Amino acid sequence: MPISLLPASAAAFAPRSAPTIVLNSKVEPWLTQTLKRINRVKRPLNSVPQHFRCLTETLSGSGAIWTLSSIMLPKAPDSELRKDQNPLIEAMFNYQLIHIEAYVVHVDMVSQHEVAFKLTPETIEALIEYHKDIYSVDVSASTWNWAEKEVQLKKLQEEFVQAVNRYVFRTGVRALEGLEEDGAGELLEGRGEDVKNAIMGLFLPLLPPPPRIVDVVRPAPLLPSSPGGVNWWQPTQQVAPPHPAPVEAWRVVPSTPSPTIATCGETQPTFWTTMGLNDIQLPSPTPSFSQPFNTTNQYYSPPQAPAPIPALPLPSVLAQQCGSSAVNTGFGGFGWGNEFAPQYAAFT
């Protein structure tokens, strides 16, 4: 893409001078018709130099001022505007119409096919005055106060002055079709809306300073290389298995023990010392109930109650029964009296 260069007259704070015009070796027919329409005196337009001379003289005149757009802005700050029930009266007393006027500084019909406009000093002065007296007051009232607010507001005004003096509107070269007598003109085909959006984009907001970020002090993570966490990933306790250890079938104690007791000195220690803790088959813990997923039946059956654990005689009971009452009555071989037989039979 070729570099687009503008003349010195398009720079900021530069005085107005004759525009620079670059024409092609063959002049477009629409440009010839436009120049013939605006000239009061018929001039010959049969060659490129004739078109160049006519266009330069037309755009260099003092009256060659183009109206790019019109912007309606408030006449006073928002706190001083007149309040009325009739919106037409409010518009008449509270708003003003600023015409964005400019002149042509550059015409390129060879590489970029564009025309460049620069704002007139009167338009620049009107925009700067509105920004300083009205816009700055409203934007200052809409923000909270901080230490450097006035400094930032003054800086915002200086930046607007630089921006509005540097502003150059560039559009297609066919915009010259809106050329009128004495070199004046008006943008056609909705190009004025582009100018309005660009001018309003120069009014920047006053941004307050961002809130301070408070640093949250967090403790440093414990790394594996630290001395305090050498074995932090190794478990310190052995987790008990969820189910009891399996019991061999041949070591299961029957539900009704019937050992033969010859004497109290022989049977009592032998029976309890030979029976280990793992020799007793205990019922498994009742599993937690989980309702089955069934779309047809919306009920469930309660779990069956486990069988009661048979009560085994304690060594202290056997020691008390040894003596005159320790007789083999034929009920289990332990020598209980007849009064205990029915209760034991109920448990078995």
Q: Which pLDDT score is estimated for 239? A: 54
Of 27, 30, 23, 37, which is closest to residue 115 (Cα–Cα)? 23
As to burial, measured by CB atoms within 10 angstroms (0-12 exposed, 13-18 middle, 19+ buried), residue 56 is middle
Tens digits of residue pLDDT in 29-57: 999 999 999 988 888 899 999 999 999 99
Region 248-273: what's the mean pLDDT? 50
- Please compute Rg for the chain using Cα positions: 53
Tens digits of residue pLDDT in 167-186: 999 999 999 999 998 899 99
Tens digits of residue pLDDT in 115-140: 999 999 999 999 999 999 999 999 99
Tens digits of residue pLDDT in 319-329: 455 444 444 44
Q: How far is CA 10 from the centre of its chain?
A: 42
Of 189, 319, 310, which is closest to residue 256 (Cα–Cα)? 310
Region 333-348: what's the mean pLDDT? 49
Region 272-279: what's the mean pLDDT? 50
CB contact set of 126 (below 8 Å; sequence gap of 6+): 98
Q: What percent of the chain has pLDDT over 70?
A: 61
What do you get for the CA distance between the two ends of the chain, in Å? 104
* Whole-model pTM over 0.95: no
Give me the amino acid identity at 303: P
Q: What percent of the chain has pLDDT over 90?
A: 45
At residue 335, does pLDDT exceed 50? Answer: no
Tens digits of residue pLDDT in 1-34: 455 678 999 999 999 999 999 999 999 999 999 9
Q: Which pLDDT score is estimated for 122? A: 96
Q: Is the dihedral of CA 123, 124, 129, 132 positive or negative?
A: positive
Which DSSP state fits 63? Answer: T
At residue 147, does pLDDT exceed 60? Answer: yes
At residue 190, does pLDDT exceed 80? Answer: yes
Q: How far is CA 311 from the centre of its chain?
A: 69
Which of the four pLDDT bands, split at 50, 70 and 90, describes residue 84? Answer: confident
Helix (H, G, I), strand (E, B) or coil at 138: helix
Of 28, 29, 4, which is closest to residue 112 (Cα–Cα)? 4
Which of the four pLDDT bands, split at 50, 70 and 90, describes residue 87? Answer: confident
Q: Measured between alpha carbons, how far is 119 from 123 in angstroms, rounded to an integer?
A: 6
Q: Which of 60-64, 119-123, 199-203, 284-288 has the lowest mean pLDDT?
A: 284-288
Q: Which pLDDT score is estimated for 31? A: 94
Q: Which pLDDT score is estimated for 127? A: 97
Q: Which pLDDT score is estimated for 241? A: 55
What are the helix (H) ranges across 95-246?
A: 121-130, 136-141, 149-166, 191-200
Q: Measured between alpha carbons, how far is 175 from 215 in angstroms, rounded to an integer?
A: 57
